[in-house]
Amino acid sequence: MQDASNATSNQAATEATGIDVTETVQEAADAVASMDPNRMMEFLQNNGLDSTTFVTLGKNLIVAILIYYIGRFAVRLVVGGLRKVMQRQNVEKTLETFVCNLVRIALMVMVIIAAIGALGIQTTSFIAIFGAAGLAVGLALQGSLSNFAAGVLIVLFRPYRVGDFVEAAGVSGTVEQVQILTTILKTPDNKQIIVPNSQIMGSIITNYSANPTRRVDLTVGVSYDDDIDKVLATLRELVDAEERILKDPECLIKVQALADSSVNFVVRPWVNSADYWGVYFDLTEAIKKRFDQDGITFPFPQQDVHLYKAN
């Protein structure tokens, strides 16, 4: 049964090519078995493979190898030079690594395609194969590619940098690493949060460290029985005594609202971003202690109940 199948296949191949496949295979086997160079050369010539063809193939192979190794050396020089230029310009490390890796991959693909072309192989088919493979991989890795694209945007536009305190994608923390697919944050209570870049770029990003100064917003409520001028003077004295508060812009201290149970004052000093929470906590504590000392009261929520005698 197997012999019959082989015979049918050989007959089909003979009809398609015009060459007796069985005879050719047997001739090649006899030439190899005898190890006769003359017979082997005669066989190769009869099938269109002469010494000139082998010389051409050998030359093409040597050229392809040279293109590959020289190209790889040139890529290393280009990437190294680019890295030095970016370091000289004090470019952020994340952006430097990303750009250098991207340039290296792109140049190496060009070198490999050039080496394949030197062998006499049509590179158009390879480009089509790479394109189809890229499309298949892209469909399978849509989520990862969206994170990659978002990482590229983060690296290029830099809405935040390593060390910034940010709020994005519903979480907040200090940026520890900006990777291609994710951003790693450290929360104030020392938890590590890994956030996909696509979620960050798809949400509102609040960067608390972007500007060198910040404004501290405090609201202080006092009783209606307290002297407003005395409260204003006390708050101004406490603000002037805090050395971390900036003189410019000037701190705003005003009556904000006449609330249901209190007169509300706003205290809005400007500080360096690094001093924000220190001033916020210390000034709140100082206001409480000073008001207790000066007899300024903090009212509790209260309601007036009126009773009427029914007739």
pLDDT tens-place string over residues 212-255: 999 999 999 999 999 999 999 999 999 999 999 999 999 999 99
112 and 67 in contact (C-beta within 8 Å)?
no
- The predicted-structure confidence for 81-111, as pLDDT tens digits, reads as follows 988 888 887 776 766 777 788 788 888 888 8
Question: Model-level pTM?
Answer: 0.59
CB burial string 144-177: b at 16+ within 10 A, e below: eebbeebbeebbeeeebbeebbbebbeeebbbee
The CATH number fitting domain 213-294, selected from 3.90.650.10, 1.20.1250.20, 3.30.70.100, 3.40.50.720: 3.30.70.100
As annotated, the residues of the chain forming the CATH 3.30.70.100 domain(s) are 213-294
The more confidently predicted of residues 47 and 183 is 183
The more confidently predicted of residues 47 and 154 is 154
- List Cβ neighbours of 175 (8 Å cut-off, separation of 6 or more): 160, 161, 162, 163, 164, 165, 166, 183, 184, 185
As annotated, the residues of the chain forming the CATH 1.10.287.1260 domain(s) are 52-140
Q: Is 280 left (phi over 0), alpha (psi -120 to 50) or beta?
A: alpha
The more confidently predicted of residues 119 and 281 is 281
**Can you give the chain as a three-state secondary structure string?**
CHHHHHHHHHHHHHHHHCCCHHHHHHHHHHHHHHCCHHHHHHHHHHCCCCHHHHHHHHHHHHHHHHHHHHHHHHHHHHHHHHHHHHHHCCCCHHHHHHHHHHHHHHHHHHHHHHHHHHCCCCHHHHHHHHHHHHHHHHHHCHHHHHHHHHHHHHHHHCCCCCCCEEEECCEEEEEEEECCCEEEEECCCCCEEEEEHHHHHCCCCEECCCCCEEECCEEEEECCCCCHHHHHHHHHHHHHHCCCECCCCCCEEEEEEECCCCEEEEEECEEEHHHHHHHHHHHHHHHHHHHHHHCCCCCCCCCCCCCCCCC
The rounded distance, in Å, linking the Cα atoms of 276 and 258 is: 28
pLDDT of residue 169: 92
What is the share, in percent, of the chain residues with pLDDT greater than 70?
74
- The predicted-structure confidence for 252-300, as pLDDT tens digits, reads as follows 999 999 998 899 999 999 999 999 999 999 999 999 999 999 999 998 7
CATH of domain 52-140: 1.10.287.1260
- The predicted-structure confidence for 66-84, as pLDDT tens digits, reads as follows 888 998 999 999 999 988 8
As annotated, the residues of the chain forming the CATH 2.30.30.60 domain(s) are 160-207
The rounded distance, in Å, linking the Cα atoms of 91 and 252 is: 39
160-207 has CATH 2.30.30.60 classification: yes
